[in-house]
A and B are shown apart, each in its own frame.
Chain A
Amino acid sequence: MTAAPVLELRDVRKSFGPIEILHGIDFALHPGEVHALIGENGAGKSTIMKILGGFLEPTSGQVLLDGRPAPYASGAEAEAAGVVVIHQEFNLAPDLTVTENIWLGRELGRVFLDHKAMRAGTQALLDQLDTHISPEARIADLPVSDRQMVEIAKALSRKARVLIMDEPSAVLTQREVEILFRQIDRLREQGVALLYTSHRLEEVTRLADRITVLRDGAVVRRALRGELTEDGMATAMVGRDLQDIYPERRHSMGEVALEVRGFHVPPLVHDVSFTLRRGEVLGISGLVGSGRTELAEGLVGLRPATGDVRRNGVAVHIRSVRDAAHHGMAYLTEDRKERGLLLDKTLRENLTLSTLPRFGTPFISDAREETALTEAIGEFDIRAPRRDMKVGNLSGGNQQKLLLAKTLLPDPEIVIIDEPTRGIDVGTKSQIYAFINELASEGRSVIVISSDMPEILGLSDRVLVMRQGRLAGELEGERISETNVVRLVMGTSEGANGEAAHG
C-alpha cells in the first residue's frame, strides 16, 4: 500500500430486480495511482463505475470517500466532492464553446458573466494539459480526441481527486492515445487517483499500477504492475465453463445460402468476405465499434454498401429492408427500444408492422392479425399480462421474444440477430438460444452477432471475428475457444494458431 485509498468499495452488492449482478465487490482507488478495471462486456465494470461516481446506489455494502461513507447521492454531488466520471458518451454541450462548457453551471461573475476570467481560467487548464485547443472553439467543431481533452480539463477545473475513465481510448487514434497517456501520467504525478478501463490489454500493461479483473460481477484476480501478462489477463477474464443453457447442436449444413465478397460499408467496414450455409449458425464477435452491426445493416440495405452479394449463387442488390425481405433476409436490431419496437403501440401492431401487406388489402384484417398474435404468443412464449398492452410495458425478455416473432414472421431463410440477449435474464436467454438452434435445424441460416463471449461459443458452428472494420479471423470446430476468440478480438500478437493476421 502506497497510501490510504481515496475512494473505496467494501462488499458492494447490486441487484436489478431479482438479479444480483455485483457479488460483494471490494475495490479501492489510491492517490497517484492508475487502477485498471478489466473484464468482458457484462462483467459489471460499468455498474461499478456508476456506483463510484454516485449515479447508482449499491443494494448493500459501503462506498467510502477518505474512509468515511461517501457524502453524495448523485453524479453532481459526487463531482462537487471531487469524484469525476468521464463517460464514453461525452457530457458536453456541442453548440457551446470550450470555455462555456468548462464553466457550465458554475459561471463566474455576478449579474454579468466575467468572460475574461473564465477564458483565462480555461486557457490555464488547457496549458496545463499541454493542448492547443482554443478556448473559443465550439465543441461540435473539435475532433473526438480534443473533446476528450476538454472533458479532462473540465474534470481538472472541478478539482478532481478521483478521475474515472470509461474506455477513453475506444474513440481515439493511436497518436491521440499517446497524448491521452501523457495526460494520465501527469495526473498521476499530481496525486489524482485514476480508474481506467479498456479492452486493449496492451494499454493496461502500459498504464496500470494496479489491475482488478472482473468476471460475472465478482473480482477474480487482483494484481500489481508487472504481475500479470496480457495473456494472463485474457485468461483471467475468460476462465469460465460454458453452462448448459446452450442447446446441443446437431446442425447438418447444406449448400451455400449467402456469399459475400469484398463488402464495404463506408466509413467503417472494409473488404469483408464470407460465406453462410443453410442450417448454419455463424457467430460474429468483436468489440463494440468493430463494425459488426454496420456490416449487418449494410447487408440488409439499412446502410449504403458496396460489394458482391450472392443469394443461392445469384447476384443480388439489396438497397432497402424491403429488398432484403424479398430475398429472404431479415435483421433483428441490437437496439430493440429505439429501432426494433414501437414502445407506445400494442403487441399486435408491432408484430405485423413489417409484414402488413400480408394482412389484407386495402383493409387490414383485425382477425388475421389477432390470429398471428395468438400464434406468436404461443410459439415464442411471450408473457404479457394483457394482449392489448403497450409493448413498452413488457419486460425486456418478452420484448425481445416479440421482436424475434416479428422478425421471423416473414419466414426468412437468413436471419441476422444482433445481440440476441442483451439485458435479458438467464431463463429467457436459454429460450432464445433454443429458438436460434431450432432455426438452424429447420435449414435456415443464422448469423449471431454478440459481445457475449459464451453466447458466441455456445451457439456458433463457425465464428468470424471483426476488428476495426475488418475480418480479423475465422475459427471453426475445435479452434473455437474463448482464448482464441479473445486473442483475435484484442489483436494480441501471439495469434491463435496463426489465424490472427491483422486485417
Chain B
Amino acid sequence: MADQAVSRPASSFRLPSLSALGPLLALILLVALGAFLNDNFLSQGNITNVLARSAFIGMIAVGMTFVITSGGLDLSVGSMAAFIAGVMILAMNALLPSMGVGVPLILAGMGVALAVGLAAGLANGLLVTRAGIEPFIVTLGTMGIFRSLVTWLADGGTISLDFAVRQLYRPVYYSGLFGIAWPILVFALVAIAGQVAMRHTRFGRYCEAIGSNDKVARYSAVSVEGVRLATYVLLGLLVGLATIMYVPRLGSASGSTGMLWELEAIAAVIIGGTALKGGYGRVWGTVVGVLILSLIDNILNLADLVSPYLNGAIQGVIIVLAVVLQRGKKSSA
C-alpha cells in the first residue's frame, strides 16, 4: 500500500505540468500570431533579428534567474551594462596606440569587460552578504552609481569606439557560425549551461534551498553567504558577456545605454515561472520569457494592429497575468 507506493522510484521522465507549459504555449501562440499577421515574420532575417536582440537581455536574465532563485534581486544590471560598455570602449581606445588595431586589442577589451562585470557583481554581492543590506536597496544604489559613472565618463554625451577598431569588432555581432549570429550562439550556450547548472549541480540545488529557506540551508552545512555571493558574481560576469556582444552593434555607449534592461530581465525571469520570492528557478522558462517579450515588440512593429507605443502596456499585462496564473495554480494545489 503506502509502503509499496514509495518503494518504487518515480519514473524519471515525466511531462512538465500544465503551469510550466503555460509560457511555452504563449510563445507558440505568439509565433503563430506573428506568422498570420505578417509574411515576413518567419523569414530568416526577422528571426535572426529577434533572437540577436533577445540575446543581451537573455544572458543577463539567465544570471538573474540564479540571483532571484536564491532569494535575491539585482536592479543594477542595465546601468552595469552601460558602465561596462563605457569602460570597455575607453580602455580599447586608450590601448589602441600601443597595441594597434588587431585581435589582441579586441581580446583585451573583452577581458576588461569581464573584469569590470566581475568587480561590479562582487561589489553588489559583498554589500548584500557581508554588510547584510537588502538586495533591493544595495542594487538600487549601485544602479544609480553605475548610471551616473557612465554619464560622467561620457561627459554627458557618447563614448565612441575608434572607427577602425569598430570595423574589426563588428562581426562579433553581425556575423556568425553556420548562418547563426554569434550573440544567438553565445546566448544558447549560456542558456544550456544555466539550465544544467540549475538542475544538475550543487550550485543550482543550493540556490533553490537558500531561496526556499535560508535557515534550513545554514543548518544543513550549506555556505549560504558564499552561494549568494556567487550568484551576484555570476550575474556580473554575464552582464560583462552580454556587453561584449552588444558593443560591436553600435560601437558606442552613453548614459542611456541598457536603459530598463533590469526590468526586462526580471520580467522574463518571472514570466518563465521562477518564483520572485525565491526557492524555485527555471532557466528554460526564463529563455521563453525573454523570447515572449521580444516577440511582442517585434509583432507590434511588423503589424499595424496596435500602435508600437503600446508595447510596454502589453508586456505589463503579460507579466501580471503570468504571476496571477502561477498564484492560481498554487492555491488550487
The answer to whether residues A354 and B222 also contact, given A342-B212, A364-B200, A385-B5 and a CB cut-off of 8 A, is yes
> Once the chains bind, are A386 and B5 in contact (CB under 8 Å)?
yes
From A27-35, A317-325, A419-427, the one touching the partner chain is A317-325
Q: How far is the CA of A386 from the CA of B212 in the complex (A)?
A: 21
> Once the chains bind, are B216 and A321 in contact (CB under 8 Å)?
no
- Measured between beta carbons, the chain A residues less than 8 angstroms from B220 are 321, 353-354, 406
> Once the chains bind, are B205 and A349 in contact (CB under 8 Å)?
yes
User: In this complex, what residue of A is CB-closest to B280?
Assistant: A344
- Measured between beta carbons, the chain A residues less than 8 angstroms from B221 are 320-322, 324-325, 354
> Once the chains bind, are B215 and A374 in contact (CB under 8 Å)?
no
Q: How far is the CA of A267 from the CA of B11 in the complex (A)?
A: 51
> Whole-angstrom distance from the CB of A447 to the nearest CB of chain B?
16
CB of A99 within 8 A of chain B?
A: no
Q: How far is the CA of A387 from the CA of B12 in the complex (A)?
A: 12
> Once the chains bind, are A383 and B216 in contact (CB under 8 Å)?
no
CB of B98 within 8 A of chain A?
A: no
Interface residues of A, count at CB 8 A: 39
The answer to whether residues A357 and B202 also contact, given A377-B7, A384-B2, A385-B5 and a CB cut-off of 8 A, is yes
The A-contacting residues of B in range 1-36, CB under 8 angstroms, are: 2-3, 5-10, 12
The B-contacting residues of A in range 420-469, CB under 8 angstroms, are: none
Q: How far is the CA of A294 from the CA of B209 in the complex (A)?
A: 24
> Once the chains bind, are B2 and A338 in contact (CB under 8 Å)?
no
CB of A143 within 8 A of chain B?
A: no
CB of B201 within 8 A of chain A?
A: yes
> Once the chains bind, are A341 and B279 in contact (CB under 8 Å)?
no
> Once the chains bind, are B12 and A366 in contact (CB under 8 Å)?
yes
CB of B213 within 8 A of chain A?
A: yes
A320, A342, A388: the one contacting B10 at CB < 8 Å is: A388
The answer to whether residues A364 and B202 also contact, given A322-B223, A349-B209 and a CB cut-off of 8 A, is yes
B2, B216, B218: the one contacting A385 at CB < 8 Å is: B2
Contact with B along A93-137 (1 / 0, CB 8 A): 000000000000000000000000000000000000000000000
> Once the chains bind, are B201 and A362 in contact (CB under 8 Å)?
yes
User: In this complex, what residue of A is CB-closest to B196?
Assistant: A363
CB of B178 within 8 A of chain A?
A: no
- Measured between beta carbons, the chain B residues less than 8 angstroms from A321 are 218-221
CB of B37 within 8 A of chain A?
A: no
User: In this complex, what residue of B is CB-closest to A371?
Assistant: B9
Contact with A along B103-124 (1 / 0, CB 8 A): 0000000000000000000000
The answer to whether residues A384 and B200 also contact, given A338-B216, A353-B217 and a CB cut-off of 8 A, is no
CB of B208 within 8 A of chain A?
A: yes
CB of A378 within 8 A of chain B?
A: yes
> Once the chains bind, are B202 and A333 in contact (CB under 8 Å)?
no
User: In this complex, what residue of B is CB-closest to A362?
Assistant: B201
> Once the chains bind, are A333 and B219 in contact (CB under 8 Å)?
yes
Interface residues of B, count at CB 8 A: 30
> Once the chains bind, are A344 and B219 in contact (CB under 8 Å)?
no
Q: How far is the CA of A263 from the CA of B219 in the complex (A)?
A: 21
> Once the chains bind, are A383 and B209 in contact (CB under 8 Å)?
no
Q: How far is the CA of A345 from the CA of B222 in the complex (A)?
A: 16
CB < 8 Å A-B pair total? 89
- Measured between beta carbons, the chain A residues less than 8 angstroms from B6 are 377, 382-387
A302, A361, A382: the one contacting B219 at CB < 8 Å is: A302
User: In this complex, what residue of A is CB-closest to B206?
Assistant: A356
Q: How far is the CA of A324 from the CA of B220 in the complex (A)?
A: 11
The B-contacting residues of A in range 165-202, CB under 8 angstroms, are: none
- Measured between beta carbons, the chain A residues less than 8 angstroms from B201 are 362-364
> Once the chains bind, are B222 and A353 in contact (CB under 8 Å)?
yes
> Whole-angstrom distance from the CB of A309 to the nearest CB of chain B?
18
The answer to whether residues A331 and B219 also contact, given A364-B205, A385-B5 and a CB cut-off of 8 A, is yes
Q: How far is the CA of A356 from the CA of B7 in the complex (A)?
A: 22
B212, B213, B216, most chain A CB atoms within 10 A: B216
CB of A209 within 8 A of chain B?
A: no
- Measured between beta carbons, the chain B residues less than 8 angstroms from A324 are 221
The A-contacting residues of B in range 205-252, CB under 8 angstroms, are: 205-206, 208-209, 212-213, 215-223
Q: How far is the CA of A363 from the CA of B196 in the complex (A)?
A: 9
Q: How far is the CA of A354 from the CA of B206 in the complex (A)?
A: 10
Q: How far is the CA of A359 from the CA of B202 in the complex (A)?
A: 9
> Once the chains bind, are B7 and A374 in contact (CB under 8 Å)?
yes
- Measured between beta carbons, the chain A residues less than 8 angstroms from B206 are 356
- Measured between beta carbons, the chain B residues less than 8 angstroms from A473 are none
> Once the chains bind, are A338 and B213 in contact (CB under 8 Å)?
yes
> Once the chains bind, are B3 and A383 in contact (CB under 8 Å)?
yes
Q: How far is the CA of A194 from the CA of B7 in the complex (A)?
A: 54
User: In this complex, what residue of B is CB-closest to A378?
Assistant: B7
> Whole-angstrom distance from the CB of B188 to the nearest CB of chain A?
20
- Measured between beta carbons, the chain A residues less than 8 angstroms from B279 are 342, 344
B202, B208, B215, B222, most chain A CB atoms within 10 A: B202
Q: How far is the CA of A382 from the CA of B7 in the complex (A)?
A: 10
> Once the chains bind, are B12 and A342 in contact (CB under 8 Å)?
no
A333, A344, A353, most chain B CB atoms within 10 A: A353
Contact with B along A387-399 (1 / 0, CB 8 A): 1100000000000
CB of A339 within 8 A of chain B?
A: yes
> Whole-angstrom distance from the CB of A475 to the nearest CB of chain B?
30
CB of A216 within 8 A of chain B?
A: no
Q: How far is the CA of A341 from the CA of B206 in the complex (A)?
A: 13
> Whole-angstrom distance from the CB of A445 to the nearest CB of chain B?
19
> Whole-angstrom distance from the CB of A438 to the nearest CB of chain B?
20
Contact with B along A365-382 (1 / 0, CB 8 A): 010001001100110001
Q: How far is the CA of A343 from the CA of B213 in the complex (A)?
A: 9
Q: How far is the CA of A343 from the CA of B279 in the complex (A)?
A: 11
Would you mind naming 26 contact pairs between A and B with Cβ atoms under 8 Å apart?
A: A321-B219, A321-B221, A322-B223, A338-B216, A339-B215, A339-B216, A339-B219, A342-B216, A349-B208, A353-B205, A353-B217, A353-B220, A353-B222, A354-B220, A354-B221, A354-B222, A356-B205, A363-B201, A364-B201, A377-B7, A383-B3, A386-B5, A386-B10, A387-B8, A387-B9, A387-B10
11 new A-B contacts at CB < 8 Å, known A382-B6, A406-B220:
A321-B219, A322-B223, A333-B219, A344-B212, A344-B280, A345-B209, A361-B202, A364-B200, A373-B9, A377-B6, A383-B3
Top 8 nearest A-B pairs by Cβ distance? Answer: A354-B220, A321-B221, A353-B220, A322-B221, A363-B200, A342-B212, A370-B9, A388-B10
Using a CB–CB cutoff of 8 Å, the interface residues on chain A facing chain B are: 302, 320-322, 324-325, 331, 333, 338-345, 349, 353-354, 356-357, 361-364, 366, 370, 373-374, 377-378, 382-388, 406
